[in-house]
Structure 1
Amino acid sequence: MLYLDANFFIFALLDRTDRGVEARRLQQTIVEGKERAITSSLALDEVMWVLIKGKKRHLLRAAIEGIYSTPNLDVVEVSSTAPLLALGFIEKYDLKLRDAFHIAVIRENEMETIISDDEDFDRIEWIKRIKF
């Protein structure tokens, strides 16, 4: 099971370089059922923010509805206890707030693998980061 960071969706949607191609290839493995994945409502908030900030508001509905309709991908909530876990991850790994929340969601869902372009996740010894 994979956790998809917000930047995965941004690269898959917007990037036309090799990184975008790789993100879309990974996305296809999920669609085909070769992998199962989750993301969080927090990640979707980040995707929406990036699109609005980047003057891509016209892509919002298609992007978010596309994520929700992706086979083998579930969107999970951020729990009420995630902030407590995030505090520990901020202190132990010197993570940014949003990254700590993503790790909290991963921990609460008993996962170990994240697809992300963010090297900060490499500080966490029990996390396997798949780059694209």
Structure 2
Amino acid sequence: MIFLDANVVVYALLKPKGNISNETAEKKQKARRIFDKISSEKVFTTVIHLSEMANAVETASTKENSNQVIEFLLSLDNMLVLPVSKQDYFEATTTAKKYSVGVNDALAVNALLENGSREIYSFDKDFDKVDWVERLEG
């Protein structure tokens, strides 16, 4: 299984305001390819990352679009959404300190470890700080 980070959904679905850099345009193309793949690959995320997706889409677009994105992701039979407990967050703070990453990134790292995976769809280069994680950009 491959972990799905929130930024992939953001790049894939949100329409930019104004001109975008070549780098951003390239990320959007890669994100769309990933988004196309996730309907046929086993992927997983956490409720926290799902919430990040919903918030980002709602902020940049509309509540209706946010609802549609979340409904689509939840409707995928191959998408596993993991719960996150208080203890999970507490353990993530330790991981965050160890690798110098944000606490939500640390949640993803811990979820990878707990689920026997090392691959994550993400454009967040902080995951490169974790030597055993393989960050996939499409």
| Shorter-chain TM-score above 0.5 | yes
The residue identity in structure 1 corresponding to 2:26 is D
* Runs (5+) with no aligned partner, structure 2: 17-24
Whether 2:36 is the aligned partner of 1:18: answer no
Q: Quick check: 2:101–2:126 contact (8 Å CA) kept in 1?
A: yes
Whether 2:2 is the aligned partner of 1:5: answer no
The residue identity in structure 1 corresponding to 2:99 is Y
Q: Give CA deviations for 1:83-112 in whole Å, capped at 9, x if unaligned.
A: 243122122111112111221222222211
Q: C-alpha distance in 1, partners of 2:67/2:121?
A: 23
**What's the counterpart of residue 94 of structure 2?**
88
**What's the counterpart of residue 97 of structure 1?**
103
For residues 1-132 of structure 1, the aligned pairs below 5 Å read: 1-15=1-15, 17-31=25-39, 33=40, 35-132=41-138
Q: Quick check: 2:34–2:121 contact (8 Å CA) kept in 1?
A: no
Secondary structure, aligned partner of 1:103: helix
Q: C-alpha distance in 1, partners of 2:50/2:137?
A: 19
Q: Quick check: 2:55–2:66 contact (8 Å CA) kept in 1?
A: no
Q: TM-score, normalised by structure 1?
A: 0.85
CA positional deviation for 1:20: 2.1
Q: Quick check: 1:113–1:130 contact (8 Å CA) kept in 2?
A: yes
CA positional deviation for 1:123: 0.2
The residue identity in structure 1 corresponding to 2:68 is A
> How many equivalent pairs are there?
130
Secondary structure, aligned partner of 2:131: coil
Q: C-alpha distance in 1, partners of 2:85/2:118?
A: 18
CA positional deviation for 1:41: 0.7
Q: TM-score, normalised by structure 2?
A: 0.82
Secondary structure, aligned partner of 1:81: helix
